[in-house]
Amino acid sequence: MDVIIVGCGRVGYILADHLSKEDHNITLVDTDETKLQPALANLDVQAVIGNGTTSSCLEEAGIKNTGLLIAVTDMDEINMISCIMAKKANPKCQTIARIRKPEYLPERNYFKQAFGMSMIINPELAASNEINQLINVPAALELDSFARGRLDLLRIVITETSVLAGMRVMDVSKKFDRKVLICIVVHNGEIIIPNGMSMLSAGDSISVIIPKAMIPTFYNTVCDTASLKVIKNVMICGGGVTAHYLAETLCDNGVNVKIIEDDRERCEQLSAELPKADIINADATNHDVLLENGLENMDAFVALTTVDSENCFLSLYASKAAPRCKLITRVHRLEQDEIITTLPIGSIITPRRITAEAILQFVRAMQNSKGSNVEALYELMDNKVEALEFSIRENSKVLNTPLQTLKLKKNLLVCAIVRGRRIITPSGKDTLQLGDTVIVVTTNLGLKDIKDILAD
């Protein structure tokens, strides 16, 4: 498919990289030639220097034959106009806009209908929702939802005292009546898609697919009591848009929220918009400020300043000053993931990754809208693993055949089957059927259809 990406910032580059590797023809558009040069040097893409809101620029980029335009510049208005112009030039072209300003949030449905947009993505709101999920499930380092919220893929670390240490994967499943399945194990830095005989050790990071209703039972069995406490007090460092969205949700849920922000004018604005939150005008990088405002008594600490290094150092300090506090750290620069994930800074939130995931999910669903739609897609473990949800809408050679007789790709696990109201943790004897929702975890990147689970 021909794809135009307007805006070659970090998100535009990430999308171009991913989509070109999935055999799409990518044309990048940006007014700044210096932003396009790295993409042209390192990726299999074309580029146009110009303004994506003009018909002449879009025509040069090939809008007449384009199946999808993605507008991800730093300006919401430019993104919207680019989508409008694309639709005018090619009514069959699907359009996606990144729109971030809070004042536009109530207008999202109107924009989609009035301007024919296929999708609107708000990275700050999406990041806030992900952080809120993590606060609601304190022991989880990472949490992704499937089957319209009925199933979760959650990641925890096995502690020395956990009953999971020394168990086999198959025994864990039996312990919970085959209602949970461990689908990723990270042992000594190695990513493993486990089989039933795989052994678990203290210090391993594991990802578990589990019905949402079973999470309390699972945690009460495998986690220490300190990680199970309900979070009632949250400190947020940085008062940007994500902090606003998050604090609003937390306050509405009865959580006590403190926001520390060094810009006085922004503090006054937040005080007016968030009357239930405590807004402190101070420098969060001053450790005395954190202690004076009760860091040691907080249940969760969220670092949301605009500087990655500040966020990491703040969370590192919080890990020492409040060792029982849940830590959440926002990081913008994806290329630093391998270093950052080794630090004790808790859950890492990357808005650009969230944005890219949502758009990639949409693109894969476009490619197979009649077969088995990609309903959800999450990139895990520094983009080395994908977790996907397929909705099976037509017959395929993978259907009605026991999983044990299918020749599946290596490093691939069918984790769950949702059939009507039933949630099935699959065994070798189970089959996939028309109408099922299927969750797959794999290191084989780029699956677009349920038939792609088969070895070549």
Whether the pLDDT of residue 336 is over 60: the answer is no
| Mean of pLDDT values over 180-191 | 93
Phi, psi of 330 (to 5 degrees): -90, 135
Mean pLDDT (whole number) for 345-372: 82
Instruction: Return the structure tokens found at 142.
Output: 């990472």
CB neighbours (10 Å) of residue 297? 10
What tokens appear for 182 in the block?
Answer: 């461990």
Percent above pLDDT 90 for the chain: 72
How does pLDDT run across 413-431, given as a tens digit for each residue? 999 999 999 999 999 999 9
Residue range 252-273: mean pLDDT, rounded: 96
Helix (H) or strand (E) holding 181: strand 181-187
**371 vs 423 pLDDT, higher one:** 423
64-122 pLDDT, tens digit per residue, is 999 999 999 999 999 999 999 999 999 999 999 999 888 898 898 999 999 999 999 99
Alpha-helix residue ranges (DSSP H) falling in 341-383:
351-367
* Res 357: pLDDT: 87
Is residue 367 predicted with pLDDT exceeding 80?
A: no
Q: How far is CA 440 from CA 45, 62, 212, 378, 401, in A?
A: 30, 36, 17, 11, 17
**Which pTM does this prediction carry?**
0.84
Are the C-beta atoms of 131 and 246 separated by less than 8 Å? yes
Query: pLDDT by residue (tens digit) across 231-250?
Result: 999 999 999 999 999 999 99
pLDDT at 189: 86
> Which of 375, 379, 395 lies closest to 387 in space, CA to CA?
379
**Range of lowest pLDDT (137-141, 248-252, 317-321, 428-432):** 137-141
* Structural domains of the chain sorted by starting position, each given as residue range(s) with its CATH number in brackets: 2-121 (3.40.50.720), 127-228 (3.30.70.1450), 233-349 (3.40.50.720), 359-453 (3.30.70.1450)
For range 421-447, the mean pLDDT: 93
Q: Is the pLDDT of residue 334 over 60?
A: no
What pLDDT was estimated at residue 341?
Answer: 66
Using pLDDT thresholds of 50, 70 and 90, give the confidence band for residue 22. Answer: confident
CB count, 10 Å around CB of 18?
21
| Average predicted confidence (pLDDT) for the chain | 91
Q: Which of 122, 111, 91 is nearest to 11 (CA)?
A: 122
pLDDT band per the 50, 70, 90 thresholds, residue 275: very high
pLDDT in tens, 67-81: 999 999 999 999 999
C-alpha to C-alpha distances, 186 to 161, 197, 221, 445, nearest whole angstrom:
18, 15, 21, 18
Beta pairing, strands 372-380 & 412-419: unpaired
Measure the CA–CA gap between 417 and 147, rounded to whole angstroms.
Answer: 10
Q: How confident is the model at residue 228 (pLDDT cuts 50, 70, 90)?
A: low
Going from the C-alpha of 343 to that of each of 309, 328, 354, the distances in angstroms are: 12, 12, 21
Q: Percent of the chain, pLDDT > 70?
A: 96
Separation of alpha carbons 397 and 118, rounded Å: 31
Residue type, 371: G
Instruction: Inform me whether the pLDDT recorded for 45 exceeds 70.
Output: yes
Residue reference for tokens 């403190």: 258
Question: Which of the listed ranges 1-15, 214-228, 365-379 does the model predict with the highest average pLDDT?
Answer: 1-15
pLDDT value at position 248?
95
Report, as an integer, the average pLDDT of 154-166.
90
